[in-house]
Amino acid sequence: MVEFPNAKINLGLSVTERRSDGYHNLETVFYPVPLCDVLEVIRGETFSFRVSGWALDGPEEENLVVKAWRLLEERFGLPPVVIRLHKVIPSGAGLGGGSSDAAFMLKMVNDLFSLALSEAELEAEAGKLGADCPFFIGNTPSFATATGNILTPIEVDLSGLHLVLVKPPVHVHTGKAYQSIMPRQPEISVREIVQQPAERWKGLLVNDFEGPVFRMFPEIGEIKEELYRQGALYASMSGSGSAVYGLFRALPLGIRERFPKNTFIFVHAL
C-alpha cells in the first residue's frame, strides 16, 4: 500500500494565549498543498522502517511514523509491517511533513488491517502524536484553534492561483520561536480575513512568528520581500518557519533564479 502524505501551509497564525500546561492557544487556517512525501506500508515477517530522501535526525522510535504504528500495533495486537518513507517535504519548515506522515500512517494501517476506525477515532489517535496531526486525517481546509487540534471546516478557494514555496537552508527551533512570542488577541479573526479575496490579505493576514523569526534569520524575511517584489498577491511564512510561500495570479519568468541555489523551491498551480 502506497500513499502520498501532503504538506500544509498556514493562512495566518495568531498566538492568542499561553496555557497553564506550557502550550499556547492559537488560531490559524491549515490549507493542504500538493507537495508530498511517499509512504509505503506492507505486511512483513519482522518490523522494518527505512527512510530515503531528506535526512531525518533522531532515533527510529522517535519518528512520528513509527509512533503512529506503535499506537495501533499495541491497541490491536497487530502483526509486523515494513515501512518505507521517502521524504520530499523538508523538515523544520513549518509545512507539517512529519505530522502528515504520521496521520497517513494511521489511515493506512486502518485500511491495511480493516480496523474500521472512524475519522473521529483516527483524529483522536492522531492528537496523541502532535497538535497538527489531526488536520491531516480529514485533510481539508480547516480553521484551527486551541493548540491547533480543534478543527472547523472552512471554505477557502485558492484555485487559479500559483503557489511558490521557498525554504532556505536554515532550521527554526519551534520552542525558541514560541518563547519569543507575546500572545495577543487579533483585532480581526483569521477566519474572517480568509473569507476575503487573497488580494486583500496583505497587511491583514498576519503570522505572529514572523517578527521574532525574521530577527533571528533575516534571510527568511528577505525571501518574503522578494516574493512581493516578484508580484505575489500575498506572501507569508508558514507555521514557525522556515518556509515562506507566495500566492501569484501569474508566475513571473525565472522565479527560481531569484533565490540561492541551495534553496528548496516548490512551484505548483492550485
Mean pLDDT of the chain: 94
Residue 118 has pLDDT above 90, yes or no: yes
Q: What is the pLDDT of residue 177?
A: 75
Q: What is the pTM for the complete model shown?
A: 0.95
Q: Is residue 132 annotated as a catalytic residue, yes or no?
A: yes
pLDDT at 183: 87
- Of all residues in the chain, the percent with pLDDT exceeding 70 is 100
Q: Which residue has the cell 519482522?
A: 46
pLDDT in the model for residue 196:
95
pLDDT value, residue 49: 97
* CATH architecture entry for 162-269: 2-Layer Sandwich (3.30)
Q: Mind giving me the DSSP string for 180-236?
A: T------SS-HHHHTTS-GGG-TTTS-BTTHHHHHHH-HHHHHHHHHHHHTT-SEEE
Q: Which of 132, 167, 208, 224 is catalytic?
A: 132
pLDDT band, residue 1 (cuts 50/70/90): very high
Active site residue 87: no
Average pLDDT of span 120-148: 96
Q: Per the structure block, which three cell numbers stand in for 265?
A: 523551491
What residues contact residue 172 under an 8 Å CB cut-off, 6+ apart?
92, 94, 213, 216, 217, 220, 240, 241, 242
Q: How confident is the model at residue 24 (pLDDT cuts 50, 70, 90)?
A: confident
Q: Give the pLDDT score at 56.
A: 85
Question: For position 7, what pLDDT does the model report?
Answer: 98
Give the residue extent of every domain in the chain: 2-153, 162-269
pLDDT over 90 at 221, yes or no: yes
pLDDT at 215: 93
Q: How confident is the model at residue 199 (pLDDT cuts 50, 70, 90)?
A: very high
CB 235 within 8 A of CB 244: yes
Residue 180 pLDDT greater than 90, yes or no: no
- State residue 112's pLDDT score: 98
Segment 255-261 mean pLDDT = 92
| pLDDT-based confidence at residue 55 (cuts at 50, 70, 90) | confident
User: Which CATH topology does 2-153 take?
Assistant: Ribosomal Protein S5; domain 2 (3.30.230)
Give the pLDDT mean for 108-130: 97
Q: Cell 491495511 belongs to which residue? A: 112
Q: Is the pLDDT of residue 98 over 90?
A: yes
pLDDT value of position 172:
83
Q: What is the pLDDT of residue 151?
A: 96
Output the pLDDT for position 255. Answer: 93
In this predicted structure, the answer to whether residue 88 has a pLDDT above a threshold of 90 is: yes
* Cis status of the peptide bond prior to 52, with omega within 30 of 0: no
pLDDT at 179 over 90: no
Q: CA 194, 205, 237 angle in degrees (round to 5)?
A: 110
Q: Examine the pLDDT at 59 and tell me if it is beyond 90.
A: no
